[in-house]
Amino acid sequence: MSEAIAAPRPLRAKTGLGLLALAMVVSLGAFAAAGFGLKGKAPRDLYTYGAILVAANVGAWLVIRLAARRADPVLFPTAALLGGLGLAMLYRLRPEVWVEQAVWLLVGLGVLALVLLLIRDDRQFDAYTYTIGLVGVILLFLPVIPGVGREINGARLWVDIGGLSFQPAEFAKIFIVIFLASYLSAKRELLAAGSGRLGLPRVKDLGPLLLAWGASLAVLFLERDMGASLLFFGVFVVMVWVASGRPGYLVVGLLLFAAGAFLGYLAFSHVQLRIDYWLNALDPAKVHDIGYGQLAQGWFGMASGGLVGTGLGQGSPTLIPYVGSDFIFAAFGEELGMIGAAGLLLLYLVLIGRGLRVAIERTDSFGKLLATGITTIFALQTFAIVGGVTRLIPLTGVPLPLVSYGGSSRVATFVMLALLLRVSAGPWERSRG
């Protein structure tokens, strides 16, 4: 607790408020454009939705100013813009679930404010390292419990408790990242000590990496969730690398990942199907038999969008199966064109870049690792969904943060954003000073 946090950052309230105002204008403009494209007139709920969206975001910004005054001023406006654009696209794609997703966005903003008010110093998690880790593991494997978990599309990701249905893995990743930040900060000297041949870690130092590899394989084997398996192991490898400062852990992590992927391919038909679909997405003999032709439809949609797109509501992205979740990036590419898709990616780059800056500015190991882990989750999820849609990698089924359909993902992302804001601001007492 005695380690330095970071040099105080100049207060930039006007910067954050100005960016938030711009985010609201763009978000509501996109919502209005979707209405005009679909029905030739502004959406009926434009003014009500606009007033609620602006009030909720301004309220969250005021809480940030109260509880985390020195927080990075770009993080929240960027997330607000991504959330607003995601709702506008969901209104265009699936009007029947748009109100539900808007409610989840409001819940997420409320949770963000609550986390900042309750967590006054991110280092207070250090006192509950193993308890937090246990909660994360329980949440991760909760869908496996008979009578609680529910299987959808071959993956066992959902749980139903008391009429509430959600994906516990979305919240498990938060607890696991906090646990890893605390555990690795305590073990960093051991991880950094010595090396084997070729600069690789010694065999006796590979225990945590092998344990994480086994856990990721368990997720793949028990829940059949490629996305979560990739995400958790990738985050662990990056955090171990940052904690130890030794790139050898990255090399070993990549080798273990390749071995795990090969084992998954041999063991599960649904993994083989996804690989086959990835390799033969445009094969006329298979395109309608594998994955409902969604990769091909996504490619054709983005190609038809060209440079500037067809305009919101003017394309045909609803021809793509699962377009509101796995393939929402293809919808942006079709209706906003390459320029719009690139703009969306730039917003994620801003979010990731600012998150890495927060990690660099923190001089204590726990805050540095926590910011690194959260930012890595954002980066890996964005890469997985965009890489899958563009056929760079096989589809993994993870949501595009703040944009894709999904209440669990939306709320969990705001919790991670709140923690990142807390890390960037430092303890509340210092923020007020």
Euclidean distance between CA atoms 83 and 93, whole angstroms: 15
Long-range contacts formed by 385-391: CB under 8 A, 24+ apart: 385/326, 385/329, 386/329, 386/345, 388/326, 389/295, 389/298, 389/302, 389/326, 389/327, 389/329, 389/330, 389/333, 391/278, 391/281, 391/295, 391/299
Distance in angstroms between the alpha carbons of the first and the last residue of the chain: 19
* pTM listed for this prediction: 0.90
Full pLDDT tens readout for the chain, 433 residues: 444 444 445 446 678 889 999 999 999 999 999 999 988 888 988 999 999 999 999 999 999 999 998 899 999 999 999 999 999 999 999 888 899 999 999 999 999 999 999 999 888 898 888 899 899 888 888 888 877 777 666 667 778 777 677 888 889 899 999 999 998 888 877 776 655 555 566 666 677 777 887 887 777 777 777 777 888 888 988 998 888 888 888 888 888 888 888 887 887 777 787 788 788 777 766 655 555 577 888 888 899 988 999 999 898 888 888 788 888 999 999 999 999 999 999 999 999 999 999 999 988 899 999 999 999 999 999 999 999 888 888 887 788 999 999 889 999 999 999 999 999 998 875 444 4
Is the CB of residue 404 less than 8 Å from the CB of residue 385?
Answer: yes
Q: What distances in angstroms separate CA 176 from CA 126, 186, 229, 239, one per listed residue? A: 13, 15, 13, 11
Locate 246 and state its tokens.
């030794």
Q: What distances in angstroms separate CA 41 from CA 25, 35, 45, 205, 335, one per listed residue? A: 18, 6, 11, 63, 18
